């Protein structure tokens, strides 16, 4: 079985990221195929309400985050397969988190850039994404199913507002 191609894009804020995740889900992808990366500061700022109200576990999630769109992103960002990497203040949820956890400490050497490289993103792209994450952006990654869907998924992420879209 061929390794899935990871298509990534950087979103400037939570609302844009939520809309993108909703649109990705409507394309037939599941929460388990979507990765979310953000700084710990962004998670604390954007998702503090969900963490405090336990909205991500399903109790009252619609009212807390404004409907199902926010609920999905909050669930991924707050619970999901999340790892927080100490010392670099990066929160990673989804398949990328599992890949980094399997790589051990070697996958996160070098801070944010090293973590992104460990997730399979080339260094030059990792530097662009690292800067965006430090500025409060949210990186969304989707594992494209069939290879021929990669180009369509890249175009789709651009259409929903992603910047620096790339397939790896």
Provide the pLDDT for residue 10: 96
Residues 38 and 77: beta-carbon distance below 8 Å: yes
Mean pLDDT, consecutive 10-residue segments, the chain of 168 residues? 78 89 87 84 70 43 42 57 62 72 51 78 90 91 79 91 91
Provide the pLDDT for residue 12: 92
Within 10 A of 148 (CB to CB), how many other CB atoms are there?
8
Provide the pLDDT for residue 43: 77
Please state the domain count of the chain: 1
Provide the pLDDT for residue 3: 63
Q: Which residue has the tokens 């909703």?
A: 22
Residues 139 and 9: beta-carbon distance below 8 Å: yes
Domain that residue 161 falls in: 5-167
Provide the pLDDT for residue 147: 61
Residues 77 and 40: beta-carbon distance below 8 Å: no
Backbone torsions φ then ψ of 46, nearest 5 degrees:
-85, -25
Sorted by sequence, the CB contacts under 8 Å of residue 84 that are 6+ apart come out as 40, 90, 91, 92
Residues 153 and 168: beta-carbon distance below 8 Å: no
**Model-wide pTM > 0.85:** no
H or E stretch covering 139: strand 138-144
* Cα Rg of the chain (Å, integer): 15
Six-digit token pair at 138? 């949210």
Provide the pLDDT for residue 58: 43
Provide the pLDDT for residue 129: 92
């Amino acid at each position: 079985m061929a390794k899935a191609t990871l298509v990534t894009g950087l979103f400037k804020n939570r609302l844009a990221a939520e809309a993108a995740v909703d649109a990705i889900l409507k394309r037939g992808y599941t929460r388990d195929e979507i990765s979310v990366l953000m700084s710990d500061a962004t998670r604390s700022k954007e998702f503090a309400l969900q963490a405090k109200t336990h909205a991500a576990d399903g109790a009252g999630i619609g009212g807390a985050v404004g409907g199902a769109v926010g609920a999905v992103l909050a669930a991924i960002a707050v619970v999901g397969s999340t790892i927080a990497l100490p010392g670099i203040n990066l929160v990673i949820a989804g398949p990328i988190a599992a890949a980094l956890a399997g790589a051990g400490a070697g996958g996160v050497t070098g801070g944010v850039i090293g973590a992104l490289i460990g997730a399979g993103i080339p260094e030059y792209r990792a530097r662009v994404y690292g800067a965006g994450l430090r500025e409060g952006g949210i990186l969304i990654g989707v594992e494209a199913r069939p290879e021929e869907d990669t180009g369509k998924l890249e175009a789709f992420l651009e259409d929903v507002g992603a910047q620096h879209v790339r397939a790896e």
